[in-house]
Amino acid sequence: MTDLMPGPVPAQLPAGIPSFVGRAEPMRLLDAHLTATDGATVTLAIVGSAGIGKTTLAVHWAHRVRHRFPDGQIYLNLRGFDPHHSPSTTGAALHSLLAALHFPPHQMPTNPDAQVGLYRTLMADRRMLILLDNARDAQQVRPLLPGSAGSLVLVTSRDRLSGLGTADGADLLTLSRMPLIEARELLARRLGALRAAADHPALDEIIEHCEGLPLALAGAATFANRHPSTSLDYLAGQLRNARRRLDVLADSDPATNIRSVFSWSYAALTPDAARLFRLLARHPESHFTTRSAAALALVSPTKVYPLMCELTRLHLVEDHPDYYVLPELLRAYGEELTYPALRAS
């Protein structure tokens, strides 16, 4: 085999957020999965809705366990949901992985199967941590899994990645909203403990309107810090108005603007599923069933069911044993898609 080019041990993990708080239970579960399969190649996938903090958790936890992988850490953004780029192709992703392993670029095979084989050969007998961030679906991830024991592949996605669990034995962790205590801690860290403690009822109302979504909580804290003389009760009042909520949480950076972040999931929908999402946003009730969704869309339950599956697969709708829920922030976004004038009102 061609000799690898000399180079440092890969250490590509992004910097963690200094103000990271909470997520104790998900980290305990990640630790347990890693420990239970010590020595084997482990694939862990953190999935959940836009803004729920998948990447933040993955990076934070990866830094905690990186010492267990002495051959290095590779980070790769697969751009599965991205406003400026198409999802990474298998060839592009493998090229990046092989480059991180110091394989000479001019000797890389052009055949996709040969690239996969080369990658798995180079990964054999290594103990590496590979973070595949922002995956589009299981099909995008599957060729990037090593074929031998010893490494950890950590994946994040808005997609449920069910196929990765079914066919590839991945452990799937669905990230939920932050519990109240952890959300309070997050706001206290960002606002300052004294300011956060000054008005507990207002703080809890802010958390309620942000639905425990870390991105929304961070946006609310940013708004409060831009207006240091205003009270938390004022911020809670601004968020109380459903039509103002997304404006309060808005940001000039598309990566942290809640509208933009929601839009990347919406853009991945088929036209019929996108139409159903808009219809559900107009419905007066946040809870609904397959039958009520079918009545709203004027189609049969048989036809609406796969559309509901599409919405839940991308975490635009929450599914429960007997009903579905459209979260209020996503409802506000969906209403704006139907009635653009709402955004300006």
Q: What's 29-42 look like in SS3?
A: HHHHHHHHCCCCCE
Its pTM stands at: 0.92
How is domain 267-338 classified at the CATH fold level? Answer: Arc Repressor Mutant, subunit A (1.10.10)
Task: Find all residues with CB under 8 Å of 44, minimum gap 6, and list them.
Answer: 30, 33, 34, 152, 153, 154, 155, 170, 171, 173
Model pLDDT, residue 342: 52
Task: Find all residues with CB under 8 Å of 343, minimum gap 6, and list them.
Answer: 246, 247, 336
How far apart, in Å, do the first and last CA atoms of the chain sit? Answer: 65
Domain boundaries along the sequence of the chain: 24-174, 180-240, 267-338
Which of 264, 260, 196 has the alpha carbon at shortest distance from 233? 196
- In the chain, the percentage of residues whose pLDDT exceeds 90 is 77
Residue 226: in which H helix or E strand, if any? helix 214-226
pLDDT at 344 over 50: no
DSSP structural state of residue 18: T
Model pLDDT, residue 36: 84
pLDDT at 23 over 60: yes
Model pLDDT, residue 345: 44
CA distances (Å), origin 336, targets 186, 195, 259, 329: 29, 33, 10, 11
Average pLDDT over residues 322-337: 94
pLDDT at 254 over 80: yes
Residue 173 DSSP SS3: strand
Which of 249, 250, 191 has the alpha carbon at shortest distance from 220? 249
DSSP structural state of residue 11: B
Q: pLDDT tens digit string along 83-95? A: 888 999 999 999 9
pLDDT at 148 over 90: no
- Under a CB-based contact definition with an 8 Å cutoff, are residues 265 and 310 in contact? no
Model pLDDT, residue 41: 76
pLDDT at 199 over 50: yes
Model pLDDT, residue 27: 96
Residue 156: in which H helix or E strand, if any? strand 152-157
- Under a CB-based contact definition with an 8 Å cutoff, are residues 205 and 239 in contact? yes
Q: pLDDT tens digit string along 33-48? A: 998 876 677 899 999 9
Which of 90, 213, 193 has the alpha carbon at shortest distance from 145? 90
pLDDT at 323 over 90: yes
76, β-bridge pairs: 132
Which is it for strands 287-288 and 324-325: parallel, antiparallel or unpaired? antiparallel
pLDDT at 1 over 60: no
Lowest mean pLDDT segment, chosen from 105-114, 211-220, 329-338: 105-114
How is domain 24-174 classified at the CATH fold level? Answer: Rossmann fold (3.40.50)
Q: What integer best gives the mean pLDDT of the chain?
A: 92
Q: pLDDT tens digit string along 210-250? A: 999 999 999 999 999 998 888 999 999 999 988 789 999 98
